[in-house]
Amino acid sequence: MEIMEKKFKRVSDMAELAVESSVDYILPDYYGDVRKILYTECVARPSGKFTDEEEVEFSGIVVYNVVYLDSENKPTGVSFTSDYDGAVKCRTEGLIGAYAEPSVTSYNVRLTGPRRFSAKATVGATTALVCEDIIAASGTAFVGETEPETLTRVMNLRSVEMSERVEREYAEVIERLEGVIADEVEIVYSGAETLSLRAEVGEEKVNVLGELLVYAVVSTPDSPLYFVEKRIPIEETVPFPGVTGAMSLIPIANAVSLVTNVNASETGAEIVASAVVEYEVRGEYNENVRVVSDAFVRSCPTENTYRNYEYTELRERVSLSEGVRCEVERGELPCENLHQILYLIANPKINTVLCDGDKLKLVGEVRFSGIASEVNEEGDVSYTGIKLSVPLEESVKCASGMSEGIACEYSFSQTLASPLIDGDKIEINYTLSGGVTVSEKKSETVLASSDAITEQSYEESSGRITVYYPEGDETLFEVARKFHKSLADIAQDNDIASTTSLDGSSVKVGDYKRIYIF
């Protein structure tokens, strides 16, 4: 007979996704030949997900942005894509979903001909698998008029809910150019990113706030390349049925497309960016599940069987959006006559998370890439690509200490950096944006079955008192089972406070010199 059945949802496993994507791209006829690559960028944009009980499939595109010098030394930009499609095998029955944030972990773009690029990227993600699970106990001990005494435990199982996905379109004028003919303006490179995202809980919804940064590198006939940008406030509502304030909310925003155009105006030209951003929110929390871990029947002996149940408990989610400043020597750049760094992208890579008291120390490096200009003695301007890296060591406040069974998942996004040339030094400021999720693997012994041994029985005695001298580590539950008595009755008879039949395992009776059994 089944006496207890607990159904719940939990994160059952964390699996790694890694898939390669490649493409050969030939420039259209109206583009000039490539003389030198200045800058490359690669981002993954997810487009679909399919889940069944054997695997989870992820698909999307990889976008490559390339800035190069053509045969006339003119800076030119081009974008092309490749598809990716990968699957994560599932090891858990009852799979109902999965979540991941795919990103490019490594890539390479090579020039294989005057007009031909060969590109390859590796897309990776840590995927959380979510399943419906059940814990049940059964047995003949639960048949009859007498209810068994049970011992229960509360397990905090890591679970997750996803909001609906919404799409928003933004069209903004980044810059107005006075006295310039629109047809003579060229967008060499453009980008978009979301900054300082935060989530506020509403009724069946979440408000996502932050900023959308759109930027472009612009070329005009009578001036060197220059950089323009605009920050757009974000305040979007994402439907999220079932959201609660107890959830750790993680807002997710992906710029899935960006088109930057130059439009004619009455006095010149306007640079207009049109971006489409997808928003969703992930809510992580601990689902409290009370299960039976032990039982006995007062009227007769019982024979129990048990099993170990392994699960993961969410310890903490630490979000970070913090300004970071670093310095590099001017000589580290491959520019003899450095004039200006047009733009610089910071790409943080976390290699290790260490525990330092009540803080987590993030250790890794930040890789910078961009384009700089040089000016020679004759005043001629030329352009070159720059790459450099600096160590990263950042601490975030965290109550969860690192120990055996503790695991950290971390994700940080690339961002636009602000370089300032000051003599022989270059000061670089950027925002370290992302978060760390701390979880712990646990195991709980739960009751699988309990069968009554009917040949022997225990009759209630009256008028007889047994004096029992408990051992040091004995619990109230163990004493009650030994004498086939009620936990609540023994607690009441011996003035053992704050005790019920549900938490007898937490009450140590070894401090009592004697226990009276009536």
Rounded to two decimals, what is the model's pTM? Answer: 0.86
**SS3 state at 505:** helix
pLDDT values of the chain reduced to their tens digit, one per residue, 518 residues: 456 678 888 998 888 899 999 999 999 998 889 999 999 999 998 888 888 777 889 999 999 999 999 998 889 999 999 999 998 887 767 888 888 889 999 999 999 999 999 999 999 998 888 998 888 888 888 776 667 888 888 999 999 999 999 999 999 999 999 988 999 999 999 999 999 899 999 999 999 999 999 999 999 887 889 999 999 999 999 999 999 999 999 999 989 899 999 999 989 999 999 999 999 999 999 999 988 889 888 888 889 999 999 999 999 888 888 899 999 998 888 888 888 999 999 999 998 888 777 788 889 999 999 999 988 888 888 999 999 999 999 888 877 666 677 888 888 988 999 999 988 899 999 999 988 898 999 999 999 998 888 766 665 555 678 888 888 788 888 888 888 888 888 888 888 865 444 455 667 776 677 888 88
**CA dihedral sign, ordered 59, 65, 70, 74:** positive
pLDDT of residue 461: 57
Q: Please give the structure tokens belonging to residue 97.
A: 């979903």
Euclidean distance between CA atoms 230 and 176, whole angstroms:
12
List of long-range contacts for 376-384, beta carbons under 8 Å, 24+ apart: 376/337, 381/224, 381/339, 382/73, 383/38, 383/69, 383/75, 383/225, 383/342, 384/38, 384/334, 384/335
Q: Please give the structure tokens belonging to residue 267.
A: 């006095």
Half-sphere CA count of 427, side-chain side, radius 13 A: 7
Euclidean distance between CA atoms 104 and 190, whole angstroms:
19
Residue 287: count other Cβ atoms within 10 Å of its Cβ: 16
b/e code 10-19 from CB counts within 10 Å (16+ = b): bbbbbbebeb
Angle 422-428-431 from CA coordinates, rounded to 5°: 155
Q: In Å, how far from its chain's centre is CA 94?
A: 23
Euclidean distance between CA atoms 371 and 313, whole angstroms:
45
Size of the chain, expressed as the number of residues it contains: 518
Could you tell me if 394 and 364 are in contact, meaning their C-beta atoms sit under 8 angstroms apart? Answer: no
Q: In Å, how far from its chain's centre is CA 438?
A: 10
**CA dihedral sign, ordered 85, 347, 342, 35:** negative
Q: Which residue's entry shows tokens 């994560």?
A: 88
Could you tell me if 62 and 121 are in contact, meaning their C-beta atoms sit under 8 angstroms apart? Answer: yes
Euclidean distance between CA atoms 62 and 156, whole angstroms:
38
Of the chain, the end-to-end C-alpha distance in Å amounts to: 32
Q: How many helices (H) and strands (E) does the chain have?
A: 2, 23
Q: Please give the structure tokens belonging to residue 54.
A: 């054997």
**SS3 state at 378:** coil
Q: Please give the structure tokens belonging to residue 95.
A: 């799979």
Q: What string of DSSP letters covers 131-196?
A: EEEEEEEE-GGGSSSSPPEEEEEEEEEEEEEE---EEEEEEEEEEEEET--GGG-EEEEEEEEEEE
Q: Which residue's entry shows tokens 């998370």?
A: 353
Euclidean distance between CA atoms 20 and 440, whole angstroms:
31
Rg of the chain in Å (alpha carbons): 32
| β-strand partners of 283 | 161, 249
Instruction: Read off φ and ψ for residue 478, nearest 5 degrees.
Output: -65, -40
pLDDT of residue 501: 44
**Burial status of residue 67 (CB atoms within 10 A of its CB: 0-12, 13-18, 19 or more):** buried
| β-strand partners of 322 | 432
pLDDT of residue 209: 96
Q: Please give the structure tokens belonging to residue 210.
A: 């932050």
